[in-house]
């Protein structure tokens, strides 16, 4: 989720100020007395709830980031024996990439990983995120190799198959206790830091924020002030900058909203 962080409460402050005059649409209306439209009080109230919800979401997100900063020096890196594919943060493999205490991907310095990468690989990829073999995966792999019946058309091929089986069994017998120890250690730290509670707060704040956005969207506006509020809510609740670059209907609507919002801001100033 992307929001127009910190600009929403401040930059939209003009939206909550009454519009004191209307600009005449055509020259033959220039002498008419401007009509001031009182904005829908329900919309103004919904907007205040949205502002409060936005602030709570920011505070909840900040509290979660604070946990990552405070506990970073205690967070263990996964043992090298458990590291799998590189670039695991790019979604090529699955969601097994190494993460920090709050679930963000960890980018490792590969210079010390002499068993996982050879010298050429370390020079080519100085930093990357690796997948991590879980205890569950290690146990499944161990059972697979324990139950595998070696095969080979020749005595030599059969011998190689047997040797590979023993090698893999030894590997996962070594990895399994390491994975269990690593997962137990990271679980203890997450519990001590209150990560689950902090994430639950963010999740609740997100739900409240989007509900408040929906309330603003569904509450009628009586004038430019209200429409500016609606445009600001859309801008805050979506990746608006990306949609502005779209071609076709969605891009056209996004640019219309942006232009209307800019016009409302000028009229309110």
Residue-by-residue DSSP string for 4-66: -TTHHHHHTGGGGSPP-----SSGGGTTSPPPPPPPPHHHHHHHHHHHHHHHHHHHHHHHHHH
132: phi then psi, degrees, rounded to nearest 5: -125, 130
CA 57/CA 41 separation, integer angstroms: 24
Asked whether the beta carbons of 236 and 8 are under 8 A apart, the reply is yes
pLDDT at 50: 94
pLDDT at 98: 96
pLDDT at 18: 36
Tally of domains within the chain: 2
pLDDT at 92: 66
CA 175/CA 179 separation, integer angstroms: 6
pLDDT at 29: 38
Tell me, yes or no, whether 235 lies in a domain: yes
pLDDT at 77: 96
- Tell me which residue range forms the domain holding 39: 7-72+201-268
Same domain, 102 and 138: yes
Same domain, 161 and 95: yes
The residue out of 171, 196, 221 marking a domain boundary is: 196
Same domain, 185 and 212: no
CA 227/CA 69 separation, integer angstroms: 40
The residue out of 157, 177, 196 marking a domain boundary is: 196
pLDDT at 31: 38
Asked whether the beta carbons of 37 and 19 are under 8 A apart, the reply is yes
pLDDT at 198: 98
Same domain, 239 and 225: yes
Same domain, 87 and 188: yes
Tell me, yes or no, whether 2 lies in a domain: no
The count of other CB atoms within 10 Å of the CB of residue 1 is: 10
Cα torsion for 47, 49, 50, 53, to the nearest 10°?
170
pLDDT along the chain (269 residues), means of 10: 43 38 33 60 95 96 97 96 92 83 96 91 94 96 96 93 96 97 98 98 96 93 87 76 70 72 61
H or E, element range at 108: strand 108-109
Tell me, yes or no, whether 1 lies in a domain: no
Reduced to 3 states, what is the DSSP secondary structure of residue 127?
strand
Same domain, 87 and 192: yes
pLDDT at 32: 44
pLDDT at 259: 73
The residue out of 138, 173, 196 marking a domain boundary is: 196
* pTM beyond cutoff 0.85: no
């Amino acid at each position: 989720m992307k929001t127009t962080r910190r600009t929403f409460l401040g930059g939209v402050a003009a939206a909550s100020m009454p519009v004191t005059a209307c600009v005449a649409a055509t020259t033959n209306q220039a002498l008419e007395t401007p009509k001031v439209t009182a904005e829908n009080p329900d919309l103004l109230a919904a907007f205040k709830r949205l502002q409060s919800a936005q602030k709570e979401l920011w505070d909840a997100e900040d509290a979660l980031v604070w946990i990552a900063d405070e506990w970073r020096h205690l967070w263990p890196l996964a043992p090298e024996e458990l590291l799998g594919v590189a670039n695991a943060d790019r979604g090529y493999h699955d969601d097994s990439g190494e993460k920090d205490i709050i679930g963000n991907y960890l980018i490792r310095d590969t210079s010390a990983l002499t068993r996982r990468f050879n010298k050429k690989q370390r020079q080519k990829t100085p930093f990357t995120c690796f997948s991590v073999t879980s205890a569950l995966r290690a146990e499944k792999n161990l059972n697979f190799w324990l139950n595998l019946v070696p095969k080979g058309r020749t005595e030599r091929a059969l011998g190689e198959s047997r040797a590979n089986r023993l090698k893999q069994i030894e590997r996962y017998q070594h990895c399994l206790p390491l994975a269990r120890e690593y997962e137990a250690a990271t679980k203890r730290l997450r519990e001590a830091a209150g990560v689950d509670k902090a994430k639950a707060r963010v999740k609740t704040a997100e739900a409240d924020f989007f509900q408040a956005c929906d309330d603003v969207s569904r509450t009628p506006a009586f004038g430019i002030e209200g429409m500016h509020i609606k445009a600001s809510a859309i801008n805050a609740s979506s990746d608006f900058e990306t949609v502005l670059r779209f071609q076709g209907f969605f891009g056209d609507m996004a640019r219309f909203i942006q232009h209307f919002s800019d016009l409302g801001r000028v009229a309110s100033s």
